[in-house]
Structure formats: C-alpha cells, structure tokens
Structure 1
Amino acid sequence: MNAASPNSQANATPAPLSVAVLGCGSRGRTYSRLIAFCGEDYRLTAAADPVAVRREAVSSLGPAGQIRVFASADELFSAGKLADVLIIATQDSQHFGHAMRALELGYDILLEKPAAESLARCEEIDALARRLGRRVALCFVLRYTPFYSEVKRIIDSGKLGKIISMRTHEGVEPFHQAHSFVRGHWSRSGTSTPMIVAKCSHDADLICWLGGAGLSSISSYGDLTWYHPGNAPTGAPLRCTDGCPASESCIYDSRRYLGDKRRWLGMVMDGFEQAADHEILEMLKVSPWGRCVYHCDNDVVDHQVLACELTNGITATHTMTSFDFGRGIEIYGTLASLKGGIPYSEAGAPELWLRHHADGRIEPVDIPQPNNAGYAGHGGGDHGLVQALGSLFSGPERLEPGLDGLAGHRLAFLAEEARVTRRTIASSPASALSPQS
C-alpha cells in the first residue's frame, strides 16, 4: 500500500474533538446539548452521573450506543481514557479529586468553577497539569460572551489609553441568593467554597483577564447581615409550607417556585417540567428549598467588597451584594473610560459606552449578537465557551499546560482570607501569575 502523500494529509478533515461528561446536572447537560448542537466538530463519548435520568438525557444526544453511560465517577475512570477532553461538572467539593484522577488518566479538562475548595488544592491541580503536560480550562463563560469579548477588544485596541483602574459589581438578586446561597448547595463555605469564590470567581477572573496581570495585594470586607434568625418575621415557622403569617409580603416565600420562580427548580428537581403543583409542594415540605430563609444553616456572606492592586499597578474594586441585580463594569483609562452592564441598560442607557476625556463625547458601543440558534445561557457565554473548545485544547493556539484561570482564583481565595483576618494580603512573588495562568 502506498503511503499517503503530504498533500492528502494536509487536506484531510480534522478528527472531531471527543468529549466525555462527568456530572450530568444542569451545567453538564447544558454543555452536552451545545456540543451536540455544534455537529461534526465534537463527538460525545461518555456520560457519568449517579442519577439515571440525568445521564440518559446526555446519552440521548447521540446515536444509540455512541455515548457510554456510567453510574459513578469510579466507573468512568475505571474504563480508562474515553475522550480527548473530560468536562467535570460535579459539585464543588468533588472537583479536586475528579480533576486529579482525570489528569493522571491523560485527559485535558474543562472544569466547572471553582477548580477546588481551597487555593492550595487549585495550585496542586495546576502543578500536576504542568508536570503531565495537560490543559485545564475553567468554565469562565463570561470571557466568551459578546459583551465581555467586546470589552476586552476595546482594551486591547488602546482606545482607552493606559488602564489605571477598574470597578466591577455583581448584584446576585435576592431570590437567587436565597435559592443558591441560603437554602442551596453553596450556603456553607465548609461544604462548598466561600461566597466570593462560589459566585464571584467569574468577576475575579475578569479583573485579572481584562487587567492583564495577576494579583499583588488585596483587602476585603463583608458579612452575613440579613439571612439569619434575628431578621425572621414574628411567628415565622421553619418552613414556608408550614403556614407563615408573613407569606403574602415575603419575597422569599418558597411557594413562588409554583409560579414566577418555577424555572429555578430546573437546577434541583429532576422532571420539574412535568411535575404537578402538588408534587412540587411535597418536595418543598422536605427539601432544603422549602425552608424559611431566616431559619437555614447558611454561613456565607450576603455582601462583600474587595480592593486590590495587580502586579502591573492597576487598582480594582469589586462589590458583591445580594440586594441588587446584574453585573456592571467601569474601566478608567488615560484617554477614555468604558462603562456598561445591566445596571446601565436597565436604566435606559446603552449597555456599553465610552466617555472620551478630550471632549466629553459619549460613544455607544455596538455589541455583536451571538450566532447561537437562540441559546443565550450566561449572555451567550455557554455557547461561546463550547465553540472555543477546539482552540483551547487542540491546534496551534491551544492553552499552555496548567490550570488556566488560576490568577483569578488566587484573587478570590485571598480576598476571603483578607475578609476573615481583616488585614491586607500580599500575593507571593511565585503566585503573581499572568491572567492566562
């Protein structure tokens, strides 16, 4: 048989990137659906989850028999390496163990944030990935949204001049705070991660990614001020379903899951789409999501601020609060400032705009709309991240070995250390990584 000519090899269609999924909850299923939507560029090969209906939802996205299913992470790992890339979308406390085993098997990894429950463990993942020559990308989907992609493009264009400082803001929204961080999976830092990591690791990553540098030093303040028994209405029972005298005026009444907050059940209740109201009520009577928000076992903060300096001299602040909605950003350069986000667009201003220092001129910025067949999870970021998998893990522009996004994780974890100790924390020289680290 004659060997293939160099030209025929060059013109061969690249093999699709094969992907396996560990953890088929809301995030794992979202990425799986988008991978299936992308057609011939990717191929799903395996899905693992202890809940049968979840792993079957992923296996149904491919031809019969193409996607192998496993009932546990142990079963998946025992089968050997089944794909080029493993998506790890399990609970926060499981990320470290799953990532380390996957790296040892030879996987590149798309890892849901946070990478691990401590900075030391994040650094262990990074060290092992570097030693083995493997790549770990965190699911920082905001990088891939049209909005933040345009912010990055404007910064890189030099239109703002030299960047001096920036301010970011995240309003979690009261019911979201209650669902996820009072009643839900991320309510206790000991079983997940601190609030500034669990919710704001996106924002910490944006500070380093947009600022173009890692952390130099940081201070932070915050507390759990509202969601505790001291603020419970008089006579409020432990569960909203037990008859609360304040139910008509309480914005946290869990019976809202039957109405305008029903979509939130998609994160925590399998088959909620077909569930009757009485079935949801029965679930609320026994699940964490039926509890009074003032009578939970939560300990994460409901508001926090941080102030930091990056290694290139840029200063930045971030505010996280339960009592607002949406992200906003302001970047201050020597030629112009850039402002935008939900707080501006909700008030009728352009979603993103520049103010030129020379003449005070306001310049609205057109944000490209994603071509994602109507799917706009995380402002188009979920789809953008999946589209980027090929370039992240294969080809000439692929990531360097290691944990991409570690700089932002370091900023968030050290912010929590600064908050707890009430002192300014300096990042060690060895830790002052580039934003791509």
Structure 2
Amino acid sequence: MLFDIVDTLDLGGEVLNSSKYTVALIGAGHRGKNIYGNFIKKHCSDINITAVAEPNLYKRKAFAKEHNIPYERQYKNYEQLFEQGKIADALLITTMDHDHYHPTIKGLEIGYKILLEKPIAPNFDEFQKLVDKTRENRDSILIAHVLRYTPFYKQLKETLNKSEIGDIKAINHTENVGYYHFVHSYVRGNWRNESVSAPLALAKSSHDFDLLTWLLNNKKCKTVFAQGKQNYFIKDNHPYNAGKHCNRCEAENNCPYSAKHIYLSKNLPWPKEVVKTMPPLYQRKLGVKFTDLGKCVYLLDNTMPEVITANLNYQDNIQVNFTLNGLSKEMTRVTKIYGTKGEIRADFAQNKIQLLPFRKKEENIEPPYKQGAHGGGDLGLMEHFESYLKEEYEKDTSTLEASIESHIVGFAVEQSRRTNKITSVDDFRTNL
C-alpha cells in the first residue's frame, strides 16, 4: 500500500546499540516503521529495537538500516524470530489483523511483554483464546487504543468527571472517516475485505467503543442494535463512461474517489500530518499506475459497509447512538454528551470542547496540542509503552483486560448488523 512503499535497499545495520530495554518488531509497515519505530529511535534513549520480522524484503532492510539491526536479527517471518527463543524484553506486533493471534500467543508463551495493534483478533474464537492466555500472564499486553492517550480525550474525560452536566443520559458519537481515508483503507486498501481484515466495527471502531467505555468509567454495554451494509462502492454504481483504472477514465475529472485526486493532486484532501508521512510524488505515481491504488473504486473486491449505525444501551440506561460514516468531507470524531444538568459538545479535528451547563456559564475549552497522528495519541501511546517497560505505568490504560469491553461491543455490533436483530452483549461477555 501507499504508505509502505520504500525506495531503499540495504543489507542492514552494523551493531546492536546498548540500552536498558530491547524490543523486537513484527511487521515493519507504516505503523511499525513510521510511528512506533520512529518514536523509539528519536525519543527513547533507554529502548533499542534489536530484531525485526517482516516478509517484505524492502521493508525489512529499510527498517534494519534505520535501527542498526544486524543481518542475523532480520527475519522473514515471526516463526523464524520465535525459533531463537526470547531475544528481547518486548514485542511490537503491527501485522495485519489476521496475523495478530499466532504471534501474540507464541510471544506470551515465550514470556514477552507485548504492544499489540488493535483489533486484538478478527474473530471471537481467537479473541476468546487470547483473553484466556493473557489472564495467565496478567498485564502482559498493551493494546494500541491510542485515543485514550490524546490530550483532547484526556481533557474531555476530566471535564466529564467534574460532573457539571449531571448524570449522563445520552451520547451521540460520530466517527467521520473521511471519504479519501475510507476509499484508501477500506475500498482499495489492506482493510477492504474481511478475508484479510477484521470486520469494520472492529478494524476501525474498536477505538470508539474503547473510548466510550473509558469515558463512561467502565460502565457495561448491555444490548446493541446495528445497521449498515455495503451498497455504494459496488459494480452496479460504476459510471457508464468510467474506466477500470483512474489513469484511463473519462469520468476521472468529476470523481472525488479518483486516485489522481486523492494521491497526486496539488491540494491533497489528507490532513497535513498525514501528507508529511506520504512517500515522494514519484513513488505515489508508481503506486497509482501499478497497484490497486489506481483501480476504480466500484470494481474492487471490497466488502466493507460505507456507513454503520448502532444504538448501544449501557448500564444506568445510558443511550448511545454511534455512527461510522465513510462518506464524510472531514476526518474527525464528534461527540455530544447529554446530562441532567447540561451538555458537552466535542470536535476532535477542531480541538474544541464546549461545556454547556443549563444554568451556569458556558465554557469553550481548547485542549493542549500535541504533534503526531491521532491527535497526538500515537506519541502518547509510545510514551506510555516506555513507562510500561519500566513498570511505572498507570493502571487506567489500554491493557488487554481493559480492552475486552470494546471488542465484545464490536463483535455484538457486527452480529446485529448482519442479523438485523437486537444483540445481547452479555452473550459474548459470559463466554470470557
């Protein structure tokens, strides 16, 4: 995919640097290489990445060069890495969804601490087994639910905890994916099809279900009713004058989903922090010309619904209306929280929180800004990972145990969406 294209090939690093804590990376894609690996290299003097497992030769060599990893610590797959026994203090597992289960299970058996990308697993059976295994090794896994670590949502939680809006009765939470991001990841990209990805409610929205659980101080979701199906990015909607590829298409000039518009235009629709991580223009042109990045969005093998809505009934009869919208102009999350004494409106992209009590003075809150993707959440997660290795971390964080609720809600949403019936979350919870 686009963010994984590299133009360097090197035989690897030279020597291992000395450090207090060592880490092995499994999966040297965009998040493993550019987010986690880059942060450790630039900001963590006590941590050194000493091994990498990655099947793609170019990614493996590029990552090894950046971190001075010698040839004998560069592995084609995680099986080769595990054959060496325990060679580091911790694992970073940033593989695709269907490759989360096996390396995590093996890593736990060997005795690694683990930072695992969300979702924990793409299906409930693997999820259940991972939960059981992790409970034998308590507090041994962190899940990359980065929204907990953003200044924005920390501020929102702090504002809620002051109880100035009284008891929470309802929440409207909308996840606007952004049309350009949706077609990049969920139509053309690595998460387009459930044969290679978890269902969308988990692959994308486990972030949101984790956030809701955290903001509600771990109240449990009781029932779910969800709707949504794939009905726009399908062959039937292919324009009559459109081609199979954006480079050879008469309808391209008027198509917002054109790869030329999304990746190559002068005014790219992506947020600035994402544009900064994109490969150079010539690499993007090659990607559009020779990969699925340039194929027509109506002619791919994607299966993900463009919109999901869900009514979530939490303890104390708190009603949450959740919407995942893949056809939005902006990439943001908007949360409106209604209490017995006021309301709160929060816009993640705008970095604005409005506190609107019914009889007190209204207040506009602007949380502190932090650089990096996910509103600084990626950097916040990595700062926490460092304290996690040092065993200095706070307990109110995204351990696997704390992430169970978000995932069973995601599984329940997906079941309800498919069956068009109200689903009991307790039916999943009682199996854990």
TM-score (norm 2): 0.85
Paired letter, 2:323: T
Residue aligning to 2:333: 327
**d(CA) in 2 for partners of 1:152 and 1:16?**
34
Which residue identity is paired with 1:222?
G
Counterparts in 2 of 1:280 and 1:368: CA distance versus 1, 3 Å: closer
Q: What does residue 163 of structure 1 align with? A: 168
Alignment correspondent of 1:9: none
- Corresponding residue number in structure 2 for 1:365: 365
Partner of 1:8: none
- 1:311–1:432 Cα contact (<8 Å) kept: no
Q: For the structure 1 residues 408 and 101, does the alpha-carbon distance in structure 2 shift closer, same or farther, using more than 3 Å as the test?
A: same
User: Taking structure 1 as reference, are residues 293 and 311 closer, same or farther at Cα in structure 2, changes over 3 Å only?
Assistant: same
Are the equivalent residues in 2 in contact too, given 1:129–1:135 (CA < 8 A)?
yes
Q: 1:406 to 1:80 in 2, by over 3 A?
A: same
Partner of 2:50: 45
2:25 to 5, 21, 30: 21
Q: Do the aligned residues in 1 keep the contact of 2:180 with 2:270 (CA within 8 Å)? A: no
Question: Which residue in the other structure is 1:395 paired with?
Answer: 391
Shift of 1:329: 0.8
Work out the number of aligned pairs and report it: 403
**Aligned-partner Cα distance in 1 for 2:53–2:178:** 32
Q: Distance in 1 between matches of 2:364 and 2:133?
A: 45
Q: Is 2:429 aligned against 1:431? A: yes
- Are the aligned partners of 2:53 and 2:60 in contact in 1 as well (CA < 8 Å)? yes
Post-superposition Cα deviations, 1:399-427, rounded to whole Å, max 9, x if no partner, equal 59854411101111110100110111112
1:295-310 paired onto structure 2 within 5 Å = 295-310=299-314
Find the partner of 2:64 among 59, 67, 73.
59
Root mean square deviation of aligned Cα: 2.8
* Alignment partner of 1:143 out of 145, 148, 161: 148
Find the residue that maps to 1:354 and give its secondary structure. Answer: strand
Shift of 1:54: 2.1
- Report if aligned partners of 2:384, 2:393 keep a CA contact under 8 Å in 1: no
> Which amino acid in structure 2 is aligned with residue 357 of structure 1?
F
Contact 1:23–1:88, Cα closer than 8 Å, also in 2: yes
Could you tell me how far apart the structure 2 residues matched to 1:203 and 1:369 are?
Answer: 21
The change in CA–CA distance for 1:132 and 1:342 in structure 2 (over 3 A counts) is closer
- Which of 111, 117, 131 aligns to 1:112? It is 117
Given that 1:47 and 1:67 are in contact with CA atoms closer than 8 Å, whether structure 2 keeps it comes out as no
Deviation at 1:132, TM superposition (A): 3.2
Quote the residue 1:5 is aligned against: none
Q: Which residue of 2 aligns with 1:224?
A: 230
Gaps of 5+ in 1: 1-14
Evaluate the alpha carbon distance shift between residue 398 and residue 67 of structure 1 in structure 2; reply closer, same or farther with a 3 A threshold.
Answer: farther
Q: Paired residue for 1:152?
A: 157
Q: Residues 125 and 403 of structure 1 are in contact (CA less than 8 Å); yes or no, is this contact kept in structure 2?
A: no
In the other structure, the counterpart of 2:78 is: 73
Q: In the alignment, is residue 125 of structure 1 matched against residue 130 of structure 2?
A: yes
The answer to whether the 8 A contact 2:183-2:189 is kept is yes
What CA deviation, in whole Å up to 9, does each residue of 1:271-312 have, x standing for no partner? 942x63xx6545434421111111111111000101112234
Deviations 1:190-211 (A, max 9, x none): 3211112111111111111111
Secondary structure at the counterpart of residue 166 of structure 2: coil
Q: 1:386 to 1:192 in 2, by over 3 A?
A: same
Structure-2 separation of matches of 1:87 and 1:330:
34
Deviations 1:180-239 (A, max 9, x none): 111111111232111121111111111111112232111101121211122221122222
TM-score (norm 1): 0.84
Identity across the alignment (%):
28
Distance 1:263 1:335, change over 3 A: closer
Which has the greater radius of gyration? 1
Q: 1:74 to 1:119 in 2, by over 3 A?
A: same
Offset at residue 332 of structure 1 (A): 1.9
Using the TM superposition, give the Cα deviation of residue 335 of structure 1 relative to its aligned residue in structure 2, in angstroms. Answer: 3.0
What is the deviation of 1:49? 1.0
* Closer, same or farther: CA 34–311 of 1 in aligned 2, 3 Å: same
Q: Please tell me the residue identity of whatever aligns with 2:356.
A: R
Is residue 215–residue 410 contact of structure 1 (8 Å, CA) maintained in 2? Answer: no
| Distance in 2 between residues matched to 1:108 and 1:352, nearest whole Å | 36
Q: Which residue of 1 aligns with 2:356?
A: 355
The secondary structure found in structure 1 opposite 2:254 is coil
- Quote the Cα distance in structure 2 between the aligned partners of 1:263 and 1:338: 28
Classify the secondary structure of the residue corresponding to 1:224: coil
Paired position in structure 2 for 1:191: 196
SS in 2 for 1:147: helix
Deviates more, 1:163-172 or 1:281-290: 281-290
Asked if the contact 1:135/1:403 (under 8 Å) is kept, the reply is no
Shift of 1:330: 1.3
SS at match of 1:332: strand
